[in-house]
Structure 1
């Protein structure tokens, strides 16, 4: 039997090689054709492949059960052999990554193996406390999925389903996306199958249609498989624009389904993961999926589309077919998101989520999309990206550009930012208002006027007075938001909504301050950014200028202008003349840019710090002391240079113990959707991804999740959490959009601060990330130069981090791969903005270390720990060499890094 299998395998290998040779020959044949014939040949070949695939399906269906099983087995072996080269390539890329990072043989290999296997990390997930923590995590996870689902369309009250029978079409139902890939991935071992969830919610699905799909060879092994974070990232790096073909559905299957029920459901998805962005084409329906939707929509009266994606897809097809009565956005909702979806369909749950991005008919209509992708300098071994859209990200562009042009707006925007429907209705009534130069405070009564219990989201926006040619201002901005508790029909709740008037100020780059310009400020209560329920006017008679930070008193100044990079930034005063374009980019880096990228300033004008003394102090004796208490100097004087170098270099997923000083080992773990380790799996709580957490618009629920994560950390022996992620959905194509929250900085900041505070209140160090401007994956890991202007940076990209520092008392941050203003680990960012201006006290870790991320530059610029699994010895050597040349600067940098790290460690539960 074994010999027969070997013979069959050889035969299939021969067939694979023959087919490969034929494809190569055909490719060469097509390449030699004239352009017109070239395109026609490609189209014809694609149609032929489709016909052949359909023919194979029909042949399989006609076979006996035994014959079909054998044929499937053979097909599986064929695919396995065919894809072997790709699998080998995946691990080749891993090897390339190691070489790129500068890994050498010898001691480094032992260090690398130790780091990658996690032998230096000890956690216990099997204890009784750990099991209880996961149970609590599961409850909160499902609560978030319940509240994160967004009802975008519901014609004729087609949902909840009156007839609890449904036809589920499409292969995507068998590959439901519970989460994302990479560091944002989480444990999905407890994930609930979609069809099991439907059954549990009392919804009957067409089992004959289910059997039809499970019998297709394309679905062989489609479910139940997942990879670790590293493999997902490598797969992402190797991904192409080619989407998997959606299997066709036969006329007989359609006919059977029509007899079963008039209800049909189709799930649409996207394939973004960490390390790989998506093209605009990948955010549209594939031709095969469009064909399926067309066929289903033409045959069923009540069609529901489920958007199971972390990226903003183009949904214009929804308007093409009147039978598409409803659209539900579920995002990537965690392991129990299918339960939530099923309960929304049945009516057990009333959806209360709101989308966190603007859904447009063409994702490339965003000005930021004009500068997204692969841009390389000709005279510098670096990539760059120009944020020429300025402050006009997401709705800030569409609401401003189309102001006064409602027809143009409706032709462009399908679902405005903040959109979401309910199975009930609500009335709003402003009970009281206090609007003054210090604060904006409203009391708003929200009443359920419908027939179902539900929650309502109140969104508060503002429009500031704008002078053409003056400071750039969006026509509307989110100020704050609130969500009611569950209200029964007829019940009401009075919400108190308050924010600082100062939050409406704009950054003035000319005068280097924030300013509230005199005039009328419109305070708008909205169902979404475009559907405003009521407007209140606040008159400001004179300008109010803010020269210093409200919390620290640090004087404002422009911190990111030294590059002298020339940008044309989008202005509402001249849309046409300033609209972004990458056509005329100068790909020649200025000399000053090259100097900033390649150079580094060591401050040698420092007094040499004391090291290696014996003051008899242990770390625990500093608990409760202020960051700048003199006793810290006595303690830090005891550290040797060697100890400090070892500590900061070995900062990947842990920090090392220094027993004689009472410094404990700490464990630091990914990720934003629940604890995970890049290189191996372990059982842990798993949550919806951050885009779904944000779509709840529920700060209390975010705080609850943070608290549960903190309790789970304590149960496992974890002290630090590499999360949440605060970067902006600058474009729809961002590979990590599922891991980030929204296109709006205030929503990111408020949800993120609540998450952070929940975990910090459990005495766990939260590493808010990626600080800052890590909004595309293309070229990120080679150190991309990000160019923007100060106003856009402060008002959009840095704002979520600022909110979290000031509202949550965060004690950790993770810097990004990006070169900000020409510098990786930019000291103006890490020290000037973060520490001096905002008052952050705590530790900054790098993101995963690649070759350009040099330890001696990090610790003398405000980056304290190297999240380094690949090149620990190399970074130690760099610090040793830098110490020989700049002993004062390096020792002072190391000392600051130890101070920051240990201050954060003292705040953890290890010292309770």
Structure 2
């Protein structure tokens, strides 16, 4: 080899070897950075241990109990249900609807759990003693249709059903009528994270074969006879309509089963006298269809009640008008229009809560009281409605009413006047005076209770109570004070015992109360509540008119202020968008709020890296405000604090300097779902959140929390990304399945009990999504959510408040959306003033999924400075902030505070009992071996690359 060739060879080889060395070093840095994630991934969890098997068994029992009480019987004409059946003489049934062969068990996205071993509706009916028309069932299966995907990767809104004229032939229907005179119609709808449900099955919601993740991609199958712009996803499709017509033509005894966690439009049932019974099963989870079979057979007496109002037209509620995809638009110099974007290219999207407090039953009951609507024309089933196979009589026990200055309490006697045992829901509502100063609905739920199983002729006395201050409303217009606050206006307050939000059983009592301005805060407030959101709910881009009860909702028609704009995108294509025109000043304001980090105010940095000899174990049960925490926090290094606050995806990391163990944290609201372990860890699929709420049984919620917590302990899981407690603002939210209700009291009480149950087992929750994350559309575009402070506090924050004050929640997950112009995960007003200072929250706030570069408005510096302690950064390097301004003194103090919050939460969990990991993980051993081999290989490569041939070496020696 010539001298030139040798030199070129050495340059190439040395470059390759150097690159290999650099990659090796970088790989080791990455492995160290994500060591706890990799350890969690390669850690085998014994899911068949005695502890795990016992926990799953208990969860299955509780899950079925929830479904037993959470399924709602909406109609039962002629007492068609229950259907009599015995083991010797089984009742035959025909079940129509393709979804019976492929039902919905829950929702999709992070709230999805494994339901592969779930009870199917067919096996449930057979277990309950029914014979199902096998030929009809097999005919549906022979269609070979797959359940359309509705997930974060895209949504296929097809509603699979065969063409009626082709499937429901005279021959097939004759076979069915010969088989049985009973027909069940099974209809299902799905929903999940990433997109809201279509309000038109045509137009912009039509399937786009190139649709992307997080976007509605329409109707895949091209069922031309189902593409109907006048129908939405929660109505009967045209094919389903044909099925209903065929079934009711041949059967006089029809049962409708609705398998949907979103309220389904059912007004059409009134046109079919043959449909005697309606059963809403929601998303029943692992064991829920077993409960359906038992309910139809009469083994279970239904006791569920609706937690959302059923309107005859789901597009009619005021909130629906301002729900969906809306753009801010800017005018260009040439007069054309473009959609506004921020400095990082994020589209400026918004949604207006113009209805204020008037969502769900609050609007309809008030509109009826004002004489604006005919209630029966507008509402099919009220909030809190549900039927039973028995009858009950409820009455207030005379002489038990105690209306004190602070508490209202009384007893209700519930008597089973029917012939079978059953449970009843006791519902208490109050009516506050409407003065015109503060918006008040005609009725509000004040308290509720679920009875035990009451035998025929037996009674149970239930004691109900609530605080007088619970009837106060928030005065955001500062009529009664200069700062805003809670006010009990002067006037007559009445309390009612009711069957539901519309039917009064009796008036419990009424009282003329004097005006009370809670200028020192309510009894549960640690800091006086004042307006916290004025700066984000006012100005250009915000709402100027909110729905008011004044003069019978006279301003209802004034709420829609959107225009249609023809905008041109970067590719030169023109499309029409709905939205508002804003100027450059508004765009600059958004940019400043999102991306401008203030200058440091502190001049002295915190102490770091001290050697005080303390460990986190020393701080179990130590008060959050105890000054001795500072000695522990002084031991943290800057790198410790950066890692602890940024590496939060499905875990909190180990910090050796303070003896903090790593924790494993999993989703989701319907049960534990593993994302980062190679073990098949998947908790029992509990019924969807709305089914749990429909039980109106706080004790069952407690038992669910305990059961999930026990599973978590068996799987070495400490944190739980749950419960989900946003409000069902409309029927079309994609995540209604994992949230509870349109009502904040039901949502808060069920969530608080679930939290108490889970945390009693040693874990901690991250209740979510805080706050006003009540739609999926544009959530990852930081959709600017505009509302007034009364609605924010009295409706949307209320369930979170109850979960903190009564549930003792240890963790919170902030939301993707913005409140006004401020990202919810960086709102000091929300996360510090309201959550911590007013409510007394002591724990950790984590973001929703943080992926660096994908959601640039989720600025770490903004988050940690304003009360968000931890980034949910996932398990990949792309999920970590590219840079952290750790040289900033203010950032150091902010990270120290965030670290305190994380350490406090972990110190009071079962994770502290396990301590730091001491055994070297097997993957580390393998990595060390690979490193040794790599070093030997690279060293050998350099040696032979630059080694002189033997002859040259000898010649040099001789010379």
Instruction: Give me the TM-score of the superposition, normalised by structure 2.
Output: 0.80
Report the equivalent of 1:99: none
Q: Does 1:554 align with 2:527?
A: yes
1:690-701 equivalence runs, <5 A: 690-701=689-700
Report the equivalent of 1:817: 816
Task: Kindly state the Cα deviation for residue 345 of structure 1 after the two structures are TM-superposed.
Answer: 0.5
Sort the Cα spacing of 1:631 and 1:288 in 2 relative to 1 into closer, same or farther, 3 A: same
After superposition, give the CA deviation of every residue in 1:384-424 in whole Å (9 maximum; x if it has no partner): 11111110111111111122549721111111111100000
Distance 2:45 2:871 in 1: 21
Sort the Cα spacing of 1:209 and 1:562 in 2 relative to 1 into closer, same or farther, 3 A: same
Secondary structure at the counterpart of residue 495 of structure 2: strand
Q: Does 1:251 align with 2:251?
A: no
Task: Kindly state the Cα deviation for residue 878 of structure 1 after the two structures are TM-superposed.
Answer: 2.7
Q: Is the 8 A contact 1:435 1:538 kept in 2?
A: no
Task: Kindly state the Cα deviation for residue 877 of structure 1 after the two structures are TM-superposed.
Answer: 3.7
Task: Kindly state the Cα deviation for residue 762 of structure 1 after the two structures are TM-superposed.
Answer: 1.5
Report the equivalent of 2:512: 540
Task: Kindly state the Cα deviation for residue 606 of structure 1 after the two structures are TM-superposed.
Answer: 5.9
Distance 1:631 1:407 in 2: 62
Secondary structure at the counterpart of residue 168 of structure 1: strand
1:265-276 equivalence runs, <5 A: 265-276=184-195
Sort the Cα spacing of 1:831 and 1:338 in 2 relative to 1 into closer, same or farther, 3 A: same
Q: Which moved further from structure 2: 198-207 or 889-898? A: 198-207
Task: Kindly state the Cα deviation for residue 115 of structure 1 after the two structures are TM-superposed.
Answer: 5.7
Report the equivalent of 1:55: none
Distance 1:571 1:874 in 2: 44
Distance 2:152 2:643 in 1: 29
Equivalent residue for 2:102, pick from 157, 164, 175: 175
1:196-215 equivalence runs, <5 A: 196-215=123-142
Sort the Cα spacing of 1:873 and 1:345 in 2 relative to 1 into closer, same or farther, 3 A: closer
Report the equivalent of 2:259: 308
After superposition, give the CA deviation of every residue in 1:546-597 in whole Å (9 maximum; x if it has no partner): 1224234312210011132331111111524244325255242625344323
After superposition, give the CA deviation of every residue in 1:668-702 in whole Å (9 maximum; x if it has no partner): 11011110034675332220010100000000010
Equivalent residue for 1:855, pick from 846, 851, 860: 860
Report the equivalent of 1:193: 120
Sort the Cα spacing of 1:600 and 1:401 in 2 relative to 1 into closer, same or farther, 3 A: farther
Report the equivalent of 2:495: 523
Sort the Cα spacing of 1:112 and 1:295 in 2 relative to 1 into closer, same or farther, 3 A: farther
Report the equivalent of 2:77: 155
Q: Is the 8 A contact 2:161 2:239 kept in 1?
A: yes
Distance 2:46 2:151 in 1: 26
After superposition, give the CA deviation of every residue in 1:168-227 in whole Å (9 maximum; x if it has no partner): 011010111111111111121320121111111111222222233233x344x66xxx9x
After superposition, give the CA deviation of every residue in 1:292-337 in whole Å (9 maximum; x if it has no partner): 0111112111101111001111111111100000000100011211
Report the equivalent of 2:152: 234
Rg (Cα) greater in structure:
2
Q: Is the 8 A contact 2:647 2:880 kept in 1?
A: no
Task: Kindly state the Cα deviation for residue 869 of structure 1 after the two structures are TM-superposed.
Answer: 1.9
Q: Does 1:505 align with 2:504?
A: no
Report the equivalent of 1:581: 560
Q: Is the 8 A contact 1:183 1:677 kept in 2?
A: no
Task: Kindly state the Cα deviation for residue 848 of structure 1 after the two structures are TM-superposed.
Answer: 0.6
Equivalent residue for 2:656, pick from 654, 659, 675: 659
Q: Does 1:386 align with 2:352?
A: yes
Sort the Cα spacing of 1:550 and 1:313 in 2 relative to 1 into closer, same or farther, 3 A: same
Q: Does 1:605 align with 2:605?
A: no
Sort the Cα spacing of 1:329 and 1:368 in 2 relative to 1 into closer, same or farther, 3 A: same
Equivalent residue for 1:463, pick from 412, 431, 442: 431
Report the equivalent of 2:235: 284
Task: Kindly state the Cα deviation for residue 660 of structure 1 after the two structures are TM-superposed.
Answer: 3.8
Sort the Cα spacing of 1:571 and 1:607 in 2 relative to 1 into closer, same or farther, 3 A: farther
Distance 1:244 1:211 in 2: 16
After superposition, give the CA deviation of every residue in 1:111-167 in whole Å (9 maximum; x if it has no partner): 799969962776442322111100110000000011101000000100001362211
Q: Does 1:444 align with 2:412?
A: yes
Task: Kindly state the Cα deviation for residue 656 of structure 1 after the two structures are TM-superposed.
Answer: 1.1
1:89-488 equivalence runs, <5 A: 119=41, 123-162=45-84, 164-215=91-142, 217-219=143-145, 233-235=151-153, 238-248=154-164, 249-280=168-199, 281-378=232-329, 379-380=340-341, 381-405=347-371, 408-431=374-397, 432-468=400-436, 470-488=437-455
1:724-739 equivalence runs, <5 A: 724-739=723-738
Q: Does 1:496 align with 2:418?
A: no
Secondary structure at the counterpart of residue 736 of structure 2: coil
Task: Kindly state the Cα deviation for residue 871 of structure 1 after the two structures are TM-superposed.
Answer: 6.5
Q: List structure 1 segments (4+ residues) > 6 angstroms apart after TM superposition.
A: 105-114
Q: Is the 8 A contact 2:493 2:513 kept in 1?
A: no
Sort the Cα spacing of 1:582 and 1:252 in 2 relative to 1 into closer, same or farther, 3 A: farther
1:881-900 equivalence runs, <5 A: 882-884=885-887, 887-900=888-901
Distance 1:599 1:817 in 2: 19
Q: Is the 8 A contact 1:340 1:349 kept in 2?
A: yes
Instruction: Give me the TM-score of the superposition, normalised by structure 1.
Output: 0.84
Distance 1:744 1:600 in 2: 37
Sort the Cα spacing of 1:169 and 1:112 in 2 relative to 1 into closer, same or farther, 3 A: farther
Task: Kindly state the Cα deviation for residue 266 of structure 1 after the two structures are TM-superposed.
Answer: 1.0
Distance 1:500 1:335 in 2: 38
Sort the Cα spacing of 1:368 and 1:721 in 2 relative to 1 into closer, same or farther, 3 A: same
Sort the Cα spacing of 1:602 and 1:670 in 2 relative to 1 into closer, same or farther, 3 A: farther
Secondary structure at the counterpart of residue 344 of structure 1: helix
Task: Kindly state the Cα deviation for residue 520 of structure 1 after the two structures are TM-superposed.
Answer: 1.2
1:500-899 equivalence runs, <5 A: 500-509=467-476, 510=478, 511=481, 512-547=484-519, 548-563=521-536, 564-565=538-539, 566-567=542-543, 568-573=545-550, 575-579=553-557, 580-584=559-563, 585-588=579-582, 590=586, 591-601=588-598, 604-605=601-602, 607-678=604-675, 682-824=681-823, 825=825, 826-850=827-851, 851-852=855-856, 853-869=858-874, 872=877, 875-879=880-884, 882-884=885-887, 887-899=888-900
Unaligned 5+ segments in structure 2 are: 1-25, 86-90, 200-231, 330-339, 342-346, 564-578, 914-959
Distance 2:427 2:243 in 1: 37
Distance 2:71 2:467 in 1: 30
Report the equivalent of 1:46: none
Distance 2:582 2:808 in 1: 42
Distance 1:537 1:459 in 2: 15
Task: Kindly state the Cα deviation for residue 763 of structure 1 after the two structures are TM-superposed.
Answer: 1.9
Distance 2:323 2:29 in 1: 36
Distance 1:839 1:314 in 2: 41
Q: Is the 8 A contact 1:703 1:756 kept in 2?
A: yes
After superposition, give the CA deviation of every residue in 1:262-303 in whole Å (9 maximum; x if it has no partner): 210011121211101102211111000011011111211110
Aligned residues: 792
Secondary structure at the counterpart of residue 554 of structure 1: coil
Distance 1:448 1:874 in 2: 57
| Structure number with higher helix proportion | 1
Q: Is the 8 A contact 2:97 2:161 kept in 1?
A: no
Secondary structure at the counterpart of residue 866 of structure 1: strand
Secondary structure at the counterpart of residue 465 of structure 2: strand
Q: Is the 8 A contact 1:549 1:838 kept in 2?
A: no
Secondary structure at the counterpart of residue 701 of structure 1: helix
Distance 1:112 1:413 in 2: 54
After superposition, give the CA deviation of every residue in 1:599-623 in whole Å (9 maximum; x if it has no partner): 3435523642111111111111111
Cα RMSD (Å):
2.2
After superposition, give the CA deviation of every residue in 1:447-505 in whole Å (9 maximum; x if it has no partner): 0000011000011111101113x100111111110010001101110000011111000
Sort the Cα spacing of 1:109 and 1:409 in 2 relative to 1 into closer, same or farther, 3 A: farther
Secondary structure at the counterpart of residue 781 of structure 1: helix
Distance 1:676 1:321 in 2: 42
